[in-house]
Chain A
Amino acid sequence: MSEPDRDRRRRWMSALATAAPAALESAWAGLPERPDYEYLRRPEVGLVMVRARAGGTGTRFNLGELPVARCSVRLTAGAVGHAYVGGRDLRHAELAAVFDALLQDDAWRPALTARLIEPLEAFAEARRLAAAARSAPTRVEFFTMVRGEE
């Protein structure tokens, strides 16, 4: 897979994983024909240790455990889709994996990108801006007084 293809896939996998489950459910229901698929890995929940870097020193440490639901499917047509979704929603992981597989198919990708991925990304961006706008008025500017002796 070329680098641009990989970036593109990363974008849609991220959109699918962070989507509201209901959005995926209604997109699935709204498909003109629902593809057949089999499980490569049935939806399952596990724990992932999230690693972080300390601010001052950059040392890595374990931030905490995150439950993750994952699923891998193969469409009858052959494409393999994977999904890793934070949380415990098995159905979300399954649908995200199926859409990941469908989006790899040139026949499905344009319609799905326009009708599912782009609206999901727009909604996520709008939500991010709204949260930033809500917290902006709470910002406090600190001014330090310089003392005369110094």
Chain B
Amino acid sequence: MTLPPGFADPVGDTQRVFRDVLDAMAHPGRIVALRAGPPAPAPLVPAAAAVCLALLDHDTPLWVDPGGWRDEALDYLRFHCGVPLVGSPREAAFALCSDAASLPDPDELALGTDEYPDRSTTLIVQVPELSAGRGPRLTGPGIDGASRLEVGGRPERVWRVVAANPSLFPRGVDLILAAGARVAALPRTTRAEA
């Protein structure tokens, strides 16, 4: 087992990545290049690894899609994040999906409650490509007018989660999409039309 090191500058990099994810979440459709993206065991892409290192810890249970991850990747997360792995997405604060096809259905996820809408499962989804300026049209808070975001690969399940959100508000699910060393985010307030 070759366990790679985590962030080169743990405190600084965590803050930079947190700020980058915040930036992406606050401006849905914006693709943000993360300022730290350590090499991680396959199939973790650098952006997903960085998001995990910055956001996961022993208080945020994690669900991963079964069969999508090698032991080295799980050992990496357990060691560097101290994160407990749980068996069902509903018990998890974060769900890490090796690709969009492995996304759980919205009804398998924690959606939060009316009093605590933040107690939902945040999705971290690895995708092959993110492109601005084309793809589904996004509107909502944080978007000046409208934006467009194309998610590469087979993103149907991503858009299915986004479509389910409006009727659930304030409950719902937020997504972080990771491609290579870049992220985009779709909070539950974003509406998409094809």
B3: A residues at CB distance < 8 A? 40, 74, 80
Cβ of A147 to closest chain B Cβ, rounded Å: 57
B10: A residues at CB distance < 8 A? 42, 44
- C-beta contact mask, B5-21 vs A, less than 8 Å → 1, else 0? 11000100000000000
Cβ of B77 to closest chain A Cβ, rounded Å: 14
- C-beta contact mask, A23-54 vs B, less than 8 Å → 1, else 0? 00000000000000011111010000000000
> CA of A44 to CA of B14 in the docked complex: distance in angstroms?
15
Check: B80 CB closer than 8 A to any chain A CB: yes
Cβ of A64 to closest chain B Cβ, rounded Å: 19
Residue of B at shortest CB range from A42?
Answer: B10
> How many A-B Cβ pairs are below 8 Å?
17
> CA of A42 to CA of B14 in the docked complex: distance in angstroms?
14
Cβ of A76 to closest chain B Cβ, rounded Å: 12
List which B65-119 residues lie within 8 A (CB) of chain A: 79-80
Residue of B at shortest CB range from A74?
Answer: B3
List which A72-94 residues lie within 8 A (CB) of chain B: 72, 74, 78, 80
> CA of A40 to CA of B79 in the docked complex: distance in angstroms?
10
> CA of A78 to CA of B2 in the docked complex: distance in angstroms?
8
A72: B residues at CB distance < 8 A? 79
> CA of A44 to CA of B6 in the docked complex: distance in angstroms?
14
Cβ of A99 to closest chain B Cβ, rounded Å: 19
> CA of A72 to CA of B2 in the docked complex: distance in angstroms?
13
Cβ of B41 to closest chain A Cβ, rounded Å: 13
List which B1-45 residues lie within 8 A (CB) of chain A: 2-3, 5-6, 10
> CA of A42 to CA of B7 in the docked complex: distance in angstroms?
10
> CA of A86 to CA of B44 in the docked complex: distance in angstroms?
34
Cβ of B11 to closest chain A Cβ, rounded Å: 10
Cβ of B83 to closest chain A Cβ, rounded Å: 15
Cβ of A128 to closest chain B Cβ, rounded Å: 33
B80: A residues at CB distance < 8 A? 41
In the complex, besides A40-B79, A41-B79, 11 extra interface pairs with C-beta distance below 8 angstroms are A38-B5, A39-B5, A40-B3, A40-B5, A40-B6, A42-B10, A44-B10, A72-B79, A74-B5, A78-B2, A80-B3
Binding site for A on B (CB under 8 A): 2-3, 5-6, 10, 79-80
Pairs across A and B, CB under 8 Å, 15 listed: A38-B5, A39-B5, A40-B5, A40-B6, A40-B79, A41-B5, A41-B6, A41-B79, A41-B80, A42-B10, A44-B10, A74-B3, A74-B5, A78-B2, A80-B3
Binding site for B on A (CB under 8 A): 38-42, 44, 72, 74, 78, 80
The 3 closest A-B pairs by CB, nearest first: A40-B5, A40-B3, A39-B5
